[in-house]
Structure 1
Amino acid sequence: MVSAPMNDREAQLTAELCAARVDLDRAMVQLAEAHKMAALGRLLAGVVHEINSPIGSILSNNEVLLRSFELLDQAVQADPARARRILETCCSLAAVDKIACDRICSVVRGLKTFAREDSSDLRKADINEILANTLKLTHCEFRSRIQVETDFAELPEIECYPHMLNQVFLNILVNAAQAIEGEGKVTVRTALEDQCVRVSISDTGSGIPPASRARIFSPGFSTKPVGVGTGLGLSISRQIVEEKHGGAIGFETEMGRGTTFHVRLPLAQARRAAG
């Protein structure tokens, strides 16, 4: 069977469709970036608290250290035993300052990882490490009311877009926290399963209502009150998992008992990169 040559009108329509697809893809990338920045903005108040607390500790310790150095200078000749005690106090305060600085650096690293814009950064990465970095950002969302448990299997590195997966996991984790009224628990597990890495994020929240389940990944749909969320998080997450990584995302839910989201990412990309 020989196909007829494309006429000018068909060629024009084809070109317009191709251009529209390019524009749509570009718009989706921009929308995903805007949603990521919105999510980051919602976390910033908690992140500021996370940073302010250790900074306050450092400033307070430094005042004590300065006074201690003055006393040490006076005591070093007159009272060696007292000088040793002062020196021990200084060393103890310096150790506390190091812990505080490490905490600040950890939060900042998490922010830098999440805020990266280089969508072309396809590389091998450790899914457990990506999850750990994301959990650092959500610490302020959970605070003391939500217990977080992790059960990470030993996993091979896979080829992926780490900052995009950060966004996926952050969306699911924040949703989990918001689904829990009062105290509860979020459990994050990883496993090797059927030639893929599986990430499971469970919460002890209220569960997803039956009427909402078929639409949960639809753009603009949300089970949250007006003004809470954009209704884009899970839609963007599915696009990242399925279109960017060739994976799958789904969930199990039971009213009154909670929800588990499963993200599956294939190992085939890692094998191709290794081969």
Structure 2
Amino acid sequence: MQEIDATTEERERLAALGQLVAGVVHEINNPIGSIISNNEVVLKALDKLKDALVTASAGNQPPPKKAIDLVDTLRSLAAVDKIACERISAVVRSLKTFSRATDVEVRLVSLNDLMRDTAKLIDCQYKRCLRLDMQLGDIPQVECRPQQLGQVFLNLLLNAAQAIEVSGSIIVRTRLAEDGMVEASITDTGKGIPPENRARIFEAGFTTKPMGIGSGLGLALSKRIVEEDHHGRIWFESEVGKGTTFFVRIPGR
């Protein structure tokens, strides 16, 4: 059984992010390409607009209709660029959640925001083969180490996505539980966990994934973070052929 020390935890965090790099690059490249293309059109339109206005001004004439049409075109392109920039910003914000390797301070955060940021990274990589359904409830903020808890959700979402062999869905829910704790659950429509493997799911080094896909440390690390570092609880329910749900509960504010 492998020991999970600080170095191993950091290595596992980077490995999980590494699996998502291709999707993140693709998600950023598309809107950047759109902005670059639009910028070329904007520069040409501005030259034409300037010529039309200079000509009108020289003849003491009002701006021609061509100038007004060009302004409308520029406004339309600006709106497209705004959406593209928002997409890039969302991905960068999600990455920042996991980039603070030394951020171990306990802070008051929105679990819903943390879950959205984490899910965005998964969506970058797997949106072609799965549908991500976010059902986030009205919950209080939680005191936690955001980078660590983000690691837990990233591990669980990655496992859920990889359990879906062709296509399917993942449902992410948050709610205030009956015991006053905040609960997050991640449900997949994957292959499920066979009964003979369930007792070892949180065992360090145990994995059923192909070599190079999983280290067998993600769930063991998640259990330690939730139960030892955040005084919470993590467990799962699974049915072979139908899917799995992982539950995480931690104290609210």
Q: TM-score, normalised by structure 1?
A: 0.85
Aligned-partner residue type, residue 203 of structure 1 = D
Matching residue of 1:260? 245
Matching residue of 2:18? 41
Q: Which moved more, 1:74-83 or 1:142-151?
A: 74-83
Select which of 94, 109, 125 maps to 1:141: 125
Q: Tell me if structure 2 keeps the 8 A contact 1:141–1:174.
A: no
Q: Does the residue aligned with 2:5 lie in a helix, a strand or coil?
A: helix
Q: Tell me if structure 2 keeps the 8 A contact 1:114–1:167.
A: yes
Does structure 1 residue 213 correspond to structure 2 residue 190?
Answer: no
Matching residue of 1:85? 69
Deviations 1:147-172 (A, max 9, x none): 11111111111111111111000100
Matching residue of 1:241? 226
Q: Does the residue aligned with 1:181 lie in a helix, a strand or coil?
A: coil
Q: Tell me if structure 1 keeps the 8 A contact 2:52–2:64.
A: yes
Q: Which has the higher helix share?
A: 1
Larger Rg: 1
Deviation at 1:190, TM superposition (A): 0.7
Select which of 228, 235, 240 maps to 1:250: 235
Q: Tell me if structure 1 keeps the 8 A contact 2:22–2:125.
A: no
Deviation at 1:30, TM superposition (A): 1.5
Q: Does the residue aligned with 1:208 lie in a helix, a strand or coil?
A: coil
Q: Tell me if structure 1 keeps the 8 A contact 2:35–2:84.
A: yes
Select which of 30, 33, 43 maps to 1:53: 30
Deviations 1:191-223 (A, max 9, x none): 111120111100000001111111011111112
Equivalent runs, 1:1-275 vs 2, <5 Å: 28-76=5-53, 77-78=55-56, 80-193=64-177, 194-267=179-252, 270=253
Deviation at 1:75, TM superposition (A): 2.1
Q: Between Structure 1 and Structure 2, how many residues are aligned?
A: 243
Q: Does the residue aligned with 1:169 lie in a helix, a strand or coil?
A: helix
Q: Tell me if structure 1 keeps the 8 A contact 2:136–2:174.
A: yes
Deviations 1:57-85 (A, max 9, x none): 00000000011111112223456101100
Q: Tell me if structure 1 keeps the 8 A contact 2:184–2:249.
A: yes
Aligned-partner residue type, residue 71 of structure 2 = L
Distance (whole Å) between structure 2 residues aligned to residue 239 and residue 170 of structure 1: 15
Q: Tell me if structure 2 keeps the 8 A contact 1:253–1:260.
A: yes
Deviation at 1:119, TM superposition (A): 4.1
Q: Which runs of 4+ in 1 moved over 4 A?
A: none
Deviation at 1:144, TM superposition (A): 2.3
CA RMSD of aligned residues (A): 1.3
Q: Does the residue aligned with 1:113 lie in a helix, a strand or coil?
A: helix
Q: Does the residue aligned with 1:188 lie in a helix, a strand or coil?
A: strand
Q: Tell me if structure 1 keeps the 8 A contact 2:186–2:247.
A: yes
Q: Tell me if structure 2 keeps the 8 A contact 1:201–1:262.
A: yes
Q: Tell me if structure 2 keeps the 8 A contact 1:152–1:191.
A: yes
Q: Tell me if structure 1 keeps the 8 A contact 2:204–2:217.
A: yes
Deviations 1:91-133 (A, max 9, x none): 1111111211121121111111112123431011111111011
